[in-house]
Amino acid sequence: MKEQTPVQIFRGQEKKQRYTRGSFILKMAALALFLLAPFLFPSYKTVDLALKIVIFASLVASFDILLGYTGILSFGHGMFFGIGAYCVAFLLGKYGNPTYLNLILGLFLATVVACILALLISFISLRVKAIFFAMVTLALAELAIVLANKLSHFTGGEDGISISMPGIFSVAFNMGQFLGVDITGRIVTYYFIVFSCLGLFLLMLLLAVQMAS
């Protein structure tokens, strides 16, 4: 039998202890807190704050994958986040109706547009290295901000775009109470986004494990 290397031995020990380590318990406690947030803190402001934390935590985790595993420092990371939000908002508010089909199409369109834009930007930015790459992405991000503000008739400018969510995600939806909390469209939307972000976290974790192995 081939003798294991020190790195393999270390990883084997980590795998055995991964469910008993303090970091894992802390992560599970944080997950439980966010899952129970609407029942522990039913205030709209608190739930909205928890939702923003979950969304931006996903954004930061994706940046960690980019910088930590590839060494690429990009100042335009949030640009793709904003473009994805615009794609959904266009179909649910400005140029479409709040339907499940438009929601699905908006999410699909956001993915496609972000991928195409990333490919186009890569032709420019990947020709340079180190700090020059960061400067190129910063310039493109600033250009995106300027365009978003100047094309206010299209993007809504600093005010953004108001949307209405379809069906069970709408503010008017109410399916009664559970544990003393009204299960409204806001609560359904909260859990939809939380579980979607959890799926993204697991996908990024899988990617990180594959890159580390």
pLDDT digits (tens, 9 = 90+) for 18-69: 656 667 788 888 888 888 888 888 788 888 898 999 988 888 888 888 887 7
Spatial CB neighbours of 172, under 8 Å, sequence gap ≥ 6 = 185
Chain centroid to CA 29: 20
Helix (H, G, I), strand (E, B) or coil at 166: coil
Domain extent at residue 68 = 52-212
pLDDT digits (tens, 9 = 90+) for 73-82: 888 888 888 8
Is 46 inside any structural domain?
no
Can you give the C-alpha Rg of the chain in angstroms?
A: 21
Single pTM value for the model: 0.77
pLDDT above 70: residue 17: no
Is 175 inside any structural domain?
yes
Strand partners, 181: 178
Is 43 inside any structural domain?
no
Total residues belonging to the chain:
213
Is 13 inside any structural domain?
no
Is 170 inside any structural domain?
yes
Is 7 inside any structural domain?
no
For the segment 89-107, the average pLDDT, to the nearest whole number, is: 84
Is 99 inside any structural domain?
yes
For the chain, what is the domain count? 1
Helix (H, G, I), strand (E, B) or coil at 99: coil
Is 60 inside any structural domain?
yes
Of 24-28, 126-130, 172-176, 202-206, the poorest mean pLDDT is in 126-130
